[in-house]
Each structure stands twice: as structure tokens, then as C-alpha cells.
Amino acid sequence: MDADIKHMLTRMESRIVRGFSELGVDVKADDNWLTIDGGNIYITTLTRSLQSLLDEADKKGARIGLIQYNVFYEDGWVAQI
């Protein structure tokens, strides 16, 4: 993805989240909203962006780009990255 487009989308997402927060919507996620087990990633919320998911997975040691991961939410398969 082009870096300029990625930057623009990230800024838009931040503005949207900030707007919802100002309206009183709870936009916080717990600290353990993402866990990794082998080739699977488990998430406890669908309120995070794909970029947030990739960043958090990277922080927790996932090798995104080298290994394919299945993403699950509430025991259901959501995606493969």
C-alpha cells in the first residue's frame, strides 16, 4: 500500500475514533484484546483497525509477512493475514 494512502487512512481513523469518543462511545479495548497461539490470533473486539491489529500482533511477537495467521473472534474465523 502506498505510504501516503496509509498515512491518510490512519489519520481518518484517528479522527473518527476521537469523534466517537467525544460523543461518549467507549472506544477503549482491554490490554489483552489480542493473543497469539501458534498460527492463530484471537481477538476479543472488532472495534480495532487492521493497522492496530498488525501493530499489536507485531508487539506480541507475530511474524507478519513471514507466517500466515488465522484471526478468530468469539470462536469464529474472521480473516487470514
Interacting residues of 6 by C-beta distance below 8 A, sequence separation 6+ = 51
Phi, psi of 34 (to 5 degrees): -135, 130
Q: What's residue 1's pLDDT?
A: 61
Contact 32, 60 (CB under 8 A): no
| pLDDT, tens only, 12-41 | 888 888 888 788 877 777 788 999 999 999
Q: Which of 54, 51, 38, 60 is closest to 5 using CA atoms? A: 51
Q: Which amino acid is at 34?
A: L
What the block records as the C-alpha cell of 29 is: 479495548
Prediction pTM value: 0.69
Q: Where are the domains of the chain?
A: 3-80
Give the model confidence (pLDDT) of 42-72 as tens digits: 999 887 888 888 889 999 999 988 899 999 9
